[in-house]
Chain A
Amino acid sequence: MIRRIVLSAGALALVAGSAAVVATATPPPVDSPAPMSFEIEPPTPVVACPGAQTVPVGDVGTAGDLASEPTVRTLDVRGSTATRVLGFGLAADDAIAVQTEQIADGDIEGWAALTCAQPSFDQWLVGGATTLGSSARLVLLNPSAAPTEVTVTIYGPLGAQQDQLLLPVAPGDSVQRLIEAVATQMSALVVRVEATGPGIVAALQDSRLAGFQPAGTAWVGASAPATDLAIPLVNADAQAVPRGDTGGVQVIDPGTATTVTDAASPTVDVPPPTVTVRLMAPEGANVDLSLVSSAGIESWSVGQPLALEPGVVTDIDVPTDTLGAVEVRSDAPVLAAARTVVARAPREGLADDVAYDHTWVPAMDVRASTTLSAVVPLDGARLAVYSPYSARVDVLDDADQVVGSAEVTGRTVQWVPMSATAGTRVRIAGVFAWAFVMTSPDGYIASVAPVDISDSVLTATVRPGMYPNSVSG
């Protein structure tokens, strides 16, 4: 009896004790194989330029009343090394280069310029349209020694298009696709280019026609989504020009390239430049837009934060008649670029016909300090700089010489006088958004945006793991 009571009580005590032990048990902190990061010397950089612009569709040659193919054009690639042919583009063993093209006649008459970039894996091209008279030609260049597979996703006013383009690009080769072949009647486009393997250089040729008149051609370069952006250059008018030396600008005489006898009347009423801002938030966002000029904040507002649906591309007209910059503030990453359209009197055509040229300037992240570089595309190209804060901007060349300098008041955009000649690589460090613009009195316009080439050291993070299911222990 006593034994039973003692043993039973002992068992109950054990149960109670063990319950207390297990109730207070907590798993220990455990080690996982720590990720190890290494700084890797990058391989020799290589850039690619998309090459000459082409008449996208309806090419009827260089003769006849409706001749579309340009007969007079100039294509220059400026950088510090020699170029080589890469498919229908060009490549250079350099960190940066710039391509400028001036086309004097045909359907794609106008100026176009682009900073030739290094391959990357994921890039957004904000610009272009595929409505009637508009063509968007995507050029993909693979300057590396390895093949790559490119996935192209097209975003329009109705959001992302379901069908993606899958394009393999051989090493040292290029591929082009007309977006209108797969996405018709899109008044506003954003193209995402994702690449495998060594990455890809992508550019979009945005060429337009207004009836029989050229309505502008331009290259659209890569943008990156961010929450605090500025587009440094909208409505770069051809007048208030604090130009430096203009001797290098090749002013094309329209008369030398035309056989048309029925010249347009010089009394045509040329409309003022127009500016459109294109916005797209991949995951949706609420966006505030502000317009600033050299004088400060302009009175322009859409009235309320703009709600962007995910993937929906939105164009907004900007009412400005002077040099301006657009500030974009968002609660989620957003893409933005501005299109400036400059009108001119056509060299030939019916009465009241107006020809245009246009250029795209991408938005740049102004949240943190960066060092952006560009190559001066033309002698006489002007540099517009936006700063969110009052600051001094110094433009340095490769020899760290100041080739341009100005005091920029906060939330203004200023022209910065430059002494560098075409082909000079320049860089600006700080929280600035800037771009080069080239215009001619004849009504041509092109711009070049800088890129970040400061990543001289790559970082790679590796960790030991199991296979398959490497991430868990």
Chain B
Amino acid sequence: MSTPYVRAVLVTDGQTEHLSATFAAIAALDEQPAILHVVVTGDLDIDIPEALATDVRRVDSTTYADAVSGLLDDVGARDGELVWLLHDDLAPHADALTRLVATATKRPHAAVVGAAHVRWNDSSRLVNLGTTVSKVGARRVALVVEDDIDQGQHDWREDVMAVSLAGALVRRDAFDALGRLDGGYQGFGDSLEWCRRVWASGRDVVIEPRAHVRHAQSGLYGARTRRTGRGATHARRRVSEWHHAFAWAPWWAIVPLIVLLPLSVAVRVVARLAQNAPRRALAEVAVLFLLVARIPAIVRTAVAHRAVGATGPVEDRLFASMRQVIDAVRQRELGTFERSRASRAPSELVRAELDAAAARQRRSLLTTVLIAAGASAALGLDYVRSLVAGQMVAGPGIGSTDLPFETVWSRAWTGWAEMGFGSAGIDGAYAGLMVPLAAAPGGLRVGVGVLLIAAPFLAALFAWWAAGHATRGPWIRATVAIVFGLWPPFLAAVADARIGPVLAHIALPAAALALPRAVGWRRGELVAGRVEAPAPAPSPSAALAAALAITVATVAQPVLLLPVVVIVGMLGLMAGRLRWRVWSIAAVPMVVGLPGVVAAAKLAPDWSLVASVLAREPGPGTNFTGSAWRVAVGMADTSRWPATVGGAWPIGAIAGVVVLASALAAIVSRRAWRPVVVGLVVAAAGAVVSAWSAQATAAWPDGAGASAISGWPGTGSSLVALGALVAAAAAHGALLAGEGTRFAFGRVISAALATVVAGASVAVLVFLVWPGSQPGSATMIDTHVLPLAVPLDQEGPYRQRVLALTALEDGSVAYSVLSHDGSSQAIGRVQWGPDGTPLGGPGGQMVGIDTLARTVAEAMQSGAADVQALRDWGIGTVVVAPGGTRIQGALDQNARLTLVGGSEIGTAYRLDGGEVSRAWLATDAGTTAVQSTATSGGPTAAPAAGATLVIAVPAAGGWTAQRDGRELDRVDDPLGRVAFAVPAGVGPVTYTYRDPAQRWWWWASAAVLAWALIGSVPLRRSKEVAE
């Protein structure tokens, strides 16, 4: 048998630095090809070793496929000719050709014999040893893990679905018959395409694992393009995979593939964001567009299959199994193989020590969990009972917490608050924070209740977790958690149902947990003074989780926004090369909190007003009148304790005093001075926030009945606690690393102090729940605060409002105008300024419910009172709270009202004289009610002769109405309502409220939050994805 004629073809564009090495390797082959054609695309000089018999040609081709094809056409074919396809960054081992030829000779049915690709710089590491594809979707699956060390473990392979044609020996006749390389693939996937044609035409594809070629993969890594790295070619590679899938799909699978395509892109985009690879996510999106442009090429490929006879079946065994696909995803996308290779196995002795340390940490966690769960149970026992009984949290400044999801969503989406006669709010961010609670089973009622019950538990748990960054001392860690979870101002906020400060107190340790994780600031586990379990690598997911946590904290308590942004900025300066990652954390809360900053800036240069708006209370809360510094340093409010233990007030001060003293001692100790300085700065910021809150008017009267309140200094106190604990715990972490008597003494003192502080914290909790105590102002009441049938009118098609009257002890009457079953401060205050105008929204004329004062006064005293003013503002029902019997006496005698029922939760009267509605069309002949929602109405048929559309909301900007798609003109209304002139014509009338600024902010916030949410998923990524 004669030696086959081997025609080597090397194409180069000169854009690789490996060309000379390639020539050198070819020159060093044990067996030379019969001829080496060097095809040069472009105008460049190349230096070819004289020993090589070469045929250099210059062509104008721009692709490898064209260059090869053009050459083969030029040189003609010989019988039994083998073509060795070479790249300019591919250096065959000396015996490579010999082995390939041997295999080709041994496997006469094989149309191609592929070589094993190894790393250019390390030939022991495999790059490619054949590929296959999944049956559906044509996912390329490599048969070896990249960088796997070649120990001969793959030498058994022969038949594979595809080999890389780079370095492969191809039978010329088959190559020509099967259409050579398909240029439509643009260089990625053409090998797979041709190999599959081989199988489909009844021939074989064989890999020769021992024929090694070093491959620099310049094309794959983008070395031939402006942008380098594998990410540069990701989109084209993905497009080629879809090209392959569509080209090889049977006709009936085309439509399912088209359906699958966007789903695949969507899932991949989410996954890329979760992997914090936004460029890769963009590349995934680009796939859709590139694929559209690829359609003609796909069609050509499919036609070519028939033309060359590649229509036969391919053996199932050659396709990738599901397990292979999953393995490929884990290795290629998630980097499982990289991490297992990078992991370090400690010695048996160290492992035993680490196991013991882990057991100590578990006991610390268990202690924390038990105490925190006990605290939650003790403080929330009444909440639990009442929640199970169907009641809801209520209390001063809260209103109702049993609001339907639609109401919460409407507030978050439109920014329009249905309190009083309605008003634009600064934003819907706080309501957005309530949306997940409202969406949970049981709705907002259960969500708020569970939040308050679980708050001490969550705060302690996050604090324990975060403390692990600073110290590995299990008892100190548990103490930090107990102190933070049972911080007296926090417990007071829980008992008063101050939802915002409670959320902030939970979110702050979550941020303290995530932020150091983002930059890898964490103490490793010590074994005999040596760090044996180093901190995990910095995590971009943790950075976004920190952004989310800070966003929650700053939305719940906007006063935190600027201080936290400053603190994040400071931490960024300390984060070295990861500073941008840290600074980007501030982006999310700043976008979400932007309307508040804008609202505050509008009040400049009155800086006290600016400060008040920045320190506004967005949710429920009552006025604070105590001593700000006592709250700031975490001293317990003994007035909440039983009178019998009032003398034990020093116990309530122990936690705060000791923790602050420890923080100050920490900086003097000079241990871990950086985190200690950070902790002290955070604590100082907390004290400033406390003072700021206490001095600010956190809410002015809102025209809907809520009083002005000052801010709650407990929010700043949470920051004080966080900072002081960071400083103290960080110093303790350093103490653990030290050796000698001095450090041992310090550790003993720390443990003793920790015991005292933890005991004092638990004692404060016990005093707070002891019989006879007054933990807070929150109470549990039945969910229906209005008689049962009344909310049906509120939620009905005409959105009637309700006037609720409550007789007060001083003989006066409090009145509220309700659009829901109770006031809705729980999903966000309206936030008016001191001048009685909204701080946000598109402006316009505002009307508060005090305009009804005279009507209410007359109605409660005289049976002859005229109640038309109620109808004018869409109030269809009057409800008298229990105890208002004198008011009932007057209403009973009012001929314009009809008693519709009474119960233990109130007595209801309905306005006589026709349907009351939120909006109506007024003509001389009468009125026609318009079906409405909170912020929109219609379509309702309007009189052909025209009418006036009156909407019973204050004449704020943002309200528009249409008839036949034409915008209607606003007209003045004597009562200051929204009114439109409806011209003569046909067609129904609609109206809606939209604040463009709010909508832009909403979408911007949604985008950054979605990014942060997805990105915070700790989905791992391989180095390839990270590039």
Identify the A interface with B (CB < 8 A).
Answer: 4, 7-8, 10-12, 14-15, 17-19, 21-28, 30-33, 35-38, 40-43, 121, 144-149, 196-199, 458, 460-473
CB distance from B64 to the nearest CB of A (A): 57
B628, A463: Cβ atoms under 8 Å? no
Which of B602-648 touch A at CB < 8 Å? 622-626, 628-629, 632
Q: A466-B825, A470-B808, A471-B814 are in contact. Are A461 and B889 (CB under 8 A)?
A: no
Out of A11, A21, A37, A149, which one reaches B681, CB within 8 Å? A11
A460 adjacent to B886 (CB under 8 Å): no
Are B808 and A472 in contact, CB atoms less than 8 angstroms apart? no
Q: Interface range on chain B: under 10, 10 to 19, 20 to 34, or 35 or more?
A: 35 or more
A145 contact set on B, CB distance < 8 A: 863, 892-893
Given contacts A31-B708, A32-B707, contact A473 B622 (CB under 8 A): yes
Q: In the complex the two chains form, is A22's CB within 8 Å of B632's CB?
A: yes
1/0 contact string of B697-714 vs chain A (CB within 8 Å)? 101110111111110010
Q: Which residues of A contact B696 (CB under 8 A)?
A: 28
Q: Which residues of the other chain, B, contact A21 by a CB distance below 8 angstroms? A: 687-688, 691
Known: A18-B687, A469-B396, A469-B398. A12 touches B664 (CB 8 A): yes
**How far is A8 from B687 in the complex, measured between Cα atoms in Å?**
18
Residue of B nearest to A16 (CB): B684
Say yes or no: A11 contacts B815, CB within 8 Å: no
Q: Which residues of A contact B624 (CB under 8 A)?
A: 27
A36-B853 CB under 8 A given contacts A41-B862, A145-B863, A467-B881: yes
> Considering the chains assembled together, what is the distance between the CA atoms of A7 and B710 in angstroms?
34
Q: How far is the CA of A353 from the CA of B931 in the complex (A)?
A: 83
Chain A, residue nearest B887 (CB): A197
18 A-B pairs (CB sep. < 8 Å): A8-B667, A18-B686, A22-B628, A26-B694, A28-B696, A146-B863, A148-B889, A196-B889, A198-B863, A461-B810, A464-B853, A465-B814, A467-B785, A467-B806, A468-B400, A468-B881, A470-B705, A471-B808
Residues of B at the A interface (CB closer than 8 Å) are: 394-400, 420, 622-626, 628-629, 632, 664, 667, 670, 673, 676-677, 680-681, 683-688, 690-692, 694-697, 699-701, 703-710, 713, 716, 777, 781, 785, 804, 806, 808, 810-816, 818, 822-823, 825, 848-850, 853-854, 856-858, 860-865, 881, 885-886, 888-890, 892-893
Residues of A with C-beta under 8 A to B691: 18, 21-22, 24-25
Interface SS of chain A: loop
Closest-CB distance, A447 to chain B (whole angstroms): 31
The residues of A that contact B886 with a CB separation of less than 8 Å are 121, 196-197, 199
- Interface on chain B toward A: helix, strand, loop, or mixed SS? mixed
Flag if A470 contacts B806 (CB, 8 Å): yes
Q: Are A198 and B823 in contact (CB under 8 A)?
A: no
Q: Which of B680, B708, B848 contacts A473 (CB 8 A)?
A: B708
B890 CB, min distance to chain A CBs, angstroms: 7
Tell me, in angstroms, the Cα distance from A464 to B806 when the chains sit together.
10
Q: Which of A10, A27, A199, A461 contacts B812 (CB 8 A)?
A: A461
Of listed A21, A27, A198, A466, residue having the most chain B CB within 10 A = A466
Complex Cα distance, B686 from A467, in Å, reads: 34
A462 / chain B contacts, CB cutoff of 8 Å: 812-815, 853, 856-857, 860
Q: How far does the alpha carbon of A252 sit from the alpha carbon of B813 in the complex, in Å?
A: 54
A8 touches which of B673, B825, B849 (Cβ 8 Å): B673
> How far apart are the CA atoms of A416 and B889 in the complex, in Å?
41
Asked if A27 meets B850 with Cβ closer than 8 Å, knowing A8-B673, A198-B890, the reply is no
A470 to B885, CA, bound (A): 17
Cβ-neighbour of B705 out of A30, A33, A35 (below 8 A)? A33
Measured in the bound complex, the distance between the Cα atoms of B813 and A40 in whole Å is: 14
- Contact at A38–B853, with CB atoms within 8 Å? yes
B813 and A461 contact, CB distance less than 8 A: yes
The answer to whether A35 touches B861, judged by C-beta atoms less than 8 angstroms apart, is: no
Residues of A within 8 A of B854 (CB): 36, 38
Contact of A18 with B848 in the complex, beta carbons under 8 Å: no
Inter-chain contact A144/B705, CB cutoff 8 Å: no
A11 contacts across to B, CB distance below 8 A? 667, 676-677, 680-681, 684
Question: How many whole Å from B449's CB to the nearest CB in chain A?
Answer: 16
Select from chain A the residue with minimum beta-carbon distance to B670.
A4
Residues of B within 8 A of A35 (CB): 812
Contact of B695 among A25, A147, A473 (CB under 8 A): A25
B residues in contact with A471, CB < 8 Å: 396, 806, 808, 814
Residues of A within 8 A of B399 (CB): 466-469
- Which one of A30, A41, A148 has the greatest number of beta carbons of chain B within 10 Å? A30
Contact between chains at A28 and B673 (CB < 8 Å):
no
Interface centre among B697, B813, B814, B816 (most CB of A within 10 A): B814
Name, among B695, B816, B853, the residue most crowded by chain A CB atoms within 10 Å (CB to CB): B853
Please give, as numbers and ranges, the residues of chain B lying within 8 Å of A32 by CB-CB distance.
Answer: 701, 707-708
Contact of A33 (CB < 8 Å), options: B629, B677, B687, B850: B850
Q: Say yes or no: A468 contacts B707, CB within 8 Å.
A: no
3 smallest A-B Cβ distances: which pairs?
A473-B707, A196-B885, A146-B892
A31 CB contacts on chain B under 8 angstroms:
700-701, 707-708
Supposing A26-B695, A473-B709 touch, asked if A461 and B811 sit within 8 A by C-beta, the answer is yes
How far, in angstroms, from A201 to B498 measured CA to CA in the complex?
48
A473 touches B625 (CB 8 A): no
Q: Nearest Cβ distance between residue A18 and chain B, in whole angstroms?
A: 4
Of the residues A25, A467, A469, contact of B713 by C-beta under 8 Å:
A25
Smallest CB–CB gap between A44 and chain B, Å? 8
Q: Which residues of B contact A466 (CB under 8 A)?
A: 397, 399, 705-706, 816, 823, 825
Bound complex: CA A460 to CA B887 (Å): 11
Contacts known (A25-B713, A460-B861, A469-B397); A18 close to B694, Cβ less than 8 A: no
Residues of B within 8 A of A28 (CB): 695-697, 710
- Chain A hits for B889, CB < 8 A: 144, 146, 148, 196-199
Question: How far does the Cβ of A451 sit from chain B's closest Cβ, in whole Å?
Answer: 20
Inter-chain CA distance A467–B794, complex, in Å, is 15
Within the assembled complex, what's the spacing in Å between the Cα atoms of A464 and B699? 16
**Contact in complex: A25, B694 (CB < 8 Å):** yes
> Assuming the A-B contacts A196-B886, A472-B397, are A146 and B708 also in contact, with contact meaning beta carbons closer than 8 angstroms in the complex?
no
Is A198's CB under 8 angstroms from B857's CB?
no
Query: Which residue on A lies nearest to B660, using beta carbons?
Result: A15
Given contacts A145-B893, A471-B808, contact A40 B858 (CB under 8 A): yes
Residues of B contacting A7 with CB < 8 Å?
A: 673, 677
> Smallest Cβ distance from B49 to chain A, in angstroms?
59
Pairwise interchain contact B710-A36, C-beta atoms closer than 8 A: no
* Residues of chain B with a CB closer than 8 A to A472's CB: 396-397, 622, 707, 777
B816 contacts A470, CB within 8 Å? yes
Is A43 touching B862 in the complex (CB atoms < 8 A)?
A: yes
Nearest residue (CB) in A for B808 is A471
In the docked arrangement, what's the CA distance between A466 and B785, Å? 12
Which chain A positions have C-beta within 8 A of B705? 33, 464-467, 470
Residues on A with beta carbons closer than 8 Å to the beta carbon of B704 = 464
Contact between chains at A464 and B687 (CB < 8 Å):
no
